[in-house]
Chains A and B, each alone.
Chain A
Amino acid sequence: MVVFGTLSEKLTSALSSLRTKGKLSAADVDGTVREIRRALLDADVSLDVVKSFTGKIRDRALSDDVNKALNPAQQVVQIVNEELVEILGGAQSQLSFAKKPPTVIMLAGLQGSGKTTFAGKLAKYLKSQGHTPVLVACDLQRPNAVTQLTVIAEQAGVQIFAPEPGNGKGNPVAVAKDGVKYAKQKLYDTVIIDTAGRLGVDEDLMREARSVRDATSPDEVLFVLDAMIGQDAVVTAKAFQDGVDFTGVVLTKLDGDARGGAALSVRGLTDRPIVFASTGESLDALEPFYPDRMASRILDLGDILTLIEQAQKNFDEDDANKVAEKIQSNTFTLQDFLEQLQQVRKMGSMKGLLGMMPGAGKMREQIDNFDEKDIDRTEAIIRSMTPAERETPKLLNGSRRLRIAKGSGMTVTDVNQLVIRFESAAKMMKTVAKGVPQTSRAWDRFPGHAPRAKRSPPKRLRVRGTPPNARQRTRPFNRLLPGMEIVSDSVPNRPPK
């Protein structure tokens, strides 16, 4: 940005004095949060959203567990990034199509926001997906908007329905209605209705937009918003939500250098998904919306996030190496095993996690066979052991096993099975570890392994029910995936009693 340094720079300098790692003080947090507030405002995030957002950051920064791998500034930044992605992400956003064609998609937005161009892009995109879209010219206001849409339809190679000349002549509601009728008759499967730009404060025109909607019962009403918009984003979004109750948002002109804080404002305010990003004047410049990209665009945290990733990777590797060493020297204990399992647990449901991975389809069977309860049972058994027993499994004689079985609500056979599995897994890991030059790599394959900091769960691995768009989310999953086979080997289904 021209006038102001990047947030990364500012945070780095503001917090360069805080070298010590440890619990964040309120003063550290306030200083950082102030910088973040300013950066969000510079990025045109609306004030109300900035306030609630920074409030959340402050609370989390003060209450989250200390992450040993990071210094305080890095830790706050990581929280900021997670919260950004969370607000921007949410439910998977896809167009919904009518069960019985035609699907009707209505566009609405301010003047000059890019509706007509987007209409052409969407038509071209849908056509490439095998649909048969028709564009309906309902902007009868702006001079020659109808001509413009006609040219665009030709460029996109799709049909247009434009019975009225526009320039103030014709009734948009009637045209929209006839457009849908036309699509039904001619068997077009999607109707894209381009409407005139209108201001949120223009009550007559908002009523007209509502009439268009009511006359066509659209499956989607897309609110088209210029990424360069400032604080007015919330006012306008609210007006359009009240006016036509849009179902999704399209952010346009993202090929420029606007920070696009409006994305955060609109998501924060309306909770409607952002479906598309429009990124250029050519009809092919249309992309799905990527929350993680948008997050780093708004706050320009790229540099710091790279540092954080580096710091954590080193930390993870130290950790992994320690475990690997233990295996090598035969000092890997049931306690370590339990901790590894708990790390897996913190990453969320194994099935959900693995099912989400690209390429998980091939492993479908293994995933289906994997019983999450096995982890519960294993955990219960280990928890019923004394520290000494966890350190030295050889202590586990008959009476101890019986006590553990009772304590954990399992049978002695279960306990025996676990000890056997643990020993064979440790042995196998040792063999594998020997075969691989870098000891820690082998350990990546162990079921319980997850990058971790002992007292702090690796927050960036939290699963929120969204596909793993974020690079930093998929990376650890990838490391986990090869372990799948061993997971089902070493923790088989519970034997029948």
Chain B
Amino acid sequence: MAWSLSKAFKSLFAGARQVEPQDWENLEDTLLQADFGPRVTDEVIEAVHAIADVSATLDTDDLRRILGEVLEERLDAFDPTLSLASEPGKPAVVLVVGVNGVGKTTTIGKFAKFIATRGKRVLVGAADTFRAAAVDQLATWAERAGVDIVKPQQDGQDPAAVAFQTVERAVTDGHEIVIIDTAGRLHTKSGLMDELAKIKRVVEKSVPIAEVLLVLDATTGQNGLNQAEAFLEQAGVTGLVLTKLDGSARGGFVFAVQELTGIPVKLVGQGEGIDDLTGFTPHVFVRQLLD
């Protein structure tokens, strides 16, 4: 491993000893390098300071413990529970959105398997009718997960129509969970963002949407905030998925994203395999940052 945050934290806290001024600077550097962003970094350090100041004899173990508590407390303010409730006889619909290449389709494959193994009937809808071979990609995942799929009837079909057909099919065939894939889109493209709003509207004509999941790539920096704001505003995001946490990036920007939008992280992707998806547990996330 070339560099990792956990390594940096380790060297920062190697062996308990009295805290020195340099430790505070290293702490700042470490948070910044984990993409916490300058504002949250300042706040976290201030919070750690506030607690540390009342302790007369502070060693580096204390500092580490306090930091962990401060971070966890910030995350605990949000409820990471997925809500997959639905009206009787109707499926719970999950719409998956995000910018290009963050891992939407992969996440759907993993998520479908995750739910299917818990005994629910899942149907995925291939409403990414834009990207070349996106439908085939989702079909491969559906097969791997052992779930059903609705594909567009022709190339480049209106994604809202595909989404609608998926939901209708679920109602008819008695699927309990519907997951709809959408094309990646940059949050700055208003035409494409309107398209999402339309997909939502059309689906909700027949069934309420249970979750709109915004997929965020852990390698993203402060632009993640812009993404979250725009997708919240225009697609009514209700939960975040943080992918690619198996790499060297730590996704510290989600602290700011959660606090700015009030939307909790609900799922975490850590690999390209079908089982590499977990729920979001603040304690585990912080431990991964610190250990």
Binding site for B on A (CB under 8 A): 1-4, 38, 41-44, 46-47, 110-114, 141-145, 147-148, 150-152, 155, 167, 199-201, 226, 228-233, 235-236, 238-239, 242, 253, 255-259, 261-262, 281
Contacts and interface: CB of A to CB of B under 8 A. Distances in A.
Given A47-B33, A114-B100, A142-B137, A255 B186 contact: yes
Given A230-B222, A231-B221, A200 B137 contact: no
Interface residues of B, number: 52
Interface string B109-144: 100000000000000000000111110110011000
Contact of A228 (B29, B32, B33, B220): B220
Contacts of A38: 38
Contacts of A111: 101, 103, 244, 272
A200 B186 contact: no
Interface in B248-280: 248-249, 253, 256, 260, 272
Contacts of B140: 143-144, 167
Contacts of A155: 132
A143 B134 CA distance: 9
Task: Pick the 4 closest A-B CB pairs, nearest first.
Answer: A230-B221, A112-B101, A44-B221, A151-B132
B248 A232 contact: yes
Contacts of B253: 230
A112 B103 contact: yes
Contact of B133 (A112, A144, A257, A262): A144
B102 interface: yes
A230 B39 CA distance: 15
B51 to A, nearest CB: 25
Nearest to A40: B38
B225 interface: yes
B248 to A, nearest CB: 5
Given A38-B38, A142-B272, A255-B189, 13 more contacts: A2-B229, A3-B225, A112-B100, A143-B109, A148-B134, A228-B221, A230-B253, A231-B34, A232-B218, A232-B249, A235-B3, A253-B99, A281-B130
A239 B248 CA distance: 10
Interface centre among B133, B137, B140, B222, by most chain A C-beta atoms within 10 angstroms, is: B222
B8 to A, nearest CB: 11
A239 B34 CA distance: 17
B136 A255 contact: no
B247 A42 contact: no
A281 B100 contact: yes
A258 B217 CA distance: 14
A143 B6 CA distance: 32
B187 interface: yes
B136 to A, nearest CB: 4
Contacts of B217: 112, 226, 228
A262 B249 CA distance: 14
B2 interface: yes
A47 B227 CA distance: 22
Given A111-B103, A201-B247, A232 B223 contact: no
A147 B225 CA distance: 33
A199 B247 contact: yes
Nearest to A148: B133
Nearest to B192: A281
Contact of B132 (A141, A148, A167, A229): A148
Contacts of B219: 110, 226, 229-230, 232, 236
Contacts of B181: none
B284 interface: no
21 contacts: A3-B39, A114-B101, A144-B136, A147-B132, A147-B133, A147-B136, A148-B137, A167-B140, A199-B246, A201-B2, A226-B219, A228-B220, A229-B220, A229-B221, A231-B33, A231-B34, A232-B247, A238-B2, A238-B3, A257-B188, A281-B100
A152 B244 CA distance: 26
B131 A3 contact: no
Contacts of A242: 2
B102 A112 contact: yes
B37 interface: yes
A242 B1 CA distance: 12
A231 B130 CA distance: 31
Interface string B35-59: 1011100000000000000000000
Contacts of A229: 219-221
Contact of B101 (A3, A47, A113): A113
Contact of A42 (B187, B188, B218, B222): B222
A114 B247 CA distance: 17
Given A41-B38, A44-B223, A3 B260 contact: yes
B81 interface: no
Contacts of B256: 3
Nearest to B136: A144
B61 to A, nearest CB: 25
A230 B187 CA distance: 17
A359 to B, nearest CB: 37
B32 A255 contact: no
Contact of B32 (A112, A152, A231): A231
Given A2-B229, A112-B217, A148-B137, A201 B248 contact: yes
Contacts of A236: 219, 247-248
Interface in B81-103: 99-103
B288 interface: no
Nearest to A203: B1
Contacts of B101: 111-114, 226
